[in-house]
Amino acid sequence: MSCPVSCCFATLILLLLWRVEQIAEACSCAPIHPQQAFCNADVVIRAKVVGGKEVDSGNDIYGNPIKRIQYEIKQLKMFKGPDKLIMAVFTAPSSAVCGVTLETNGKKEYLISGKAEGDEKMHVTLCDFIIPWDSLSATQKKSLNQRYQMGCECRISRCPSIPCTITAPDECLWTDWVTEKSINGRQAKHYACIKRNDGSCAWYRGVAPPKKEFLDIEDP
């Protein structure tokens, strides 16, 4: 028996809603330079994860419980954030909704950046800069102490294709994607965008702190 027009229309609507829900569940993050991630974050720490469990975190508008993963951590160092130890990190329950999976055996050290969430807590997503500590370059580790903070008033613009140019003096062009086809290339690992005395910004390369006056991408 053929489906009436109203029946077919209802089926089409359900299929469209299902497709929209599928798309809405996907997690999508714009590429971001580590310095930008540092500047955007409320909290940046080095830590070990010593435990994890699923917890309820209130209810949605329909009264259904909201699930999150709570990681218990041992903070080793704070690079940015409140004058308190962070004891717990919260995230969504799956990567489809930008949840982060961390090893909980207490052996691996992580750099974790994210948003502050009350006393001794923070919330993280896949769009935050979260990486095993040993995967950071020596320059990135040094930059966490002061270098990145020196450039938080600068803008880092990703160059998606050649040609691309800066549009303002306080901008640094991030070209890893066009030169190396990677967002974890040389500039991400070894460069910081620093504000100079004249208000302009330029890439600085190297582990040592920049001199009072430095040339673009100088290597001390």
Query: Over 70: is that where the pLDDT of 22 sits?
Result: no
pLDDT in tens, 32-62: 999 999 999 999 999 999 999 999 877 778 8
- Mean pLDDT, the chain, rounded, equals 85
Percent of the chain whose pLDDT exceeds 70: 82
Please give the average per-residue pLDDT across 88-105, as a whole number. 95
In single-letter form, the type of residue at position 170 comes to: D
Most confident of 37-41, 163-167, 175-179, 195-199: 37-41
Query: Over 70: is that where the pLDDT of 109 sits?
Result: yes
The whole-angstrom separation of Cα 45 and Cα 114 is: 9
The whole-angstrom separation of Cα 78 and Cα 74 is: 11
pLDDT in tens, 194-216: 998 899 999 998 666 555 555 45
| 48-74 per-residue burial string, b: 16 or more CB within 10 A, e: under 16 | bbeebeeeeeeeeeeeeeeebbebebe
Query: Looking at residue 146, what is its pLDDT?
Result: 84
pLDDT-derived band of residue 16, with 50, 70 and 90 as boundaries? very low
Query: Are the CB atoms for 157 and 176 separated by under 8 Å?
Result: no
Taking alpha carbons only, the member of 79, 140, 136, 139 closest to residue 109 is 136
- Could you count the other beta carbons within 10 Å of the beta carbon of residue 43? 23
Return the higher-pLDDT residue of 27 and 58.
27
The whole-angstrom separation of Cα 193 and Cα 205 is: 9
| 148-181 per-residue burial string, b: 16 or more CB within 10 A, e: under 16 | bbbbeebebbbbeeeeeeeeeebbbbbbbbbeee
Phi, psi of 105 (to 5 degrees): -85, 0
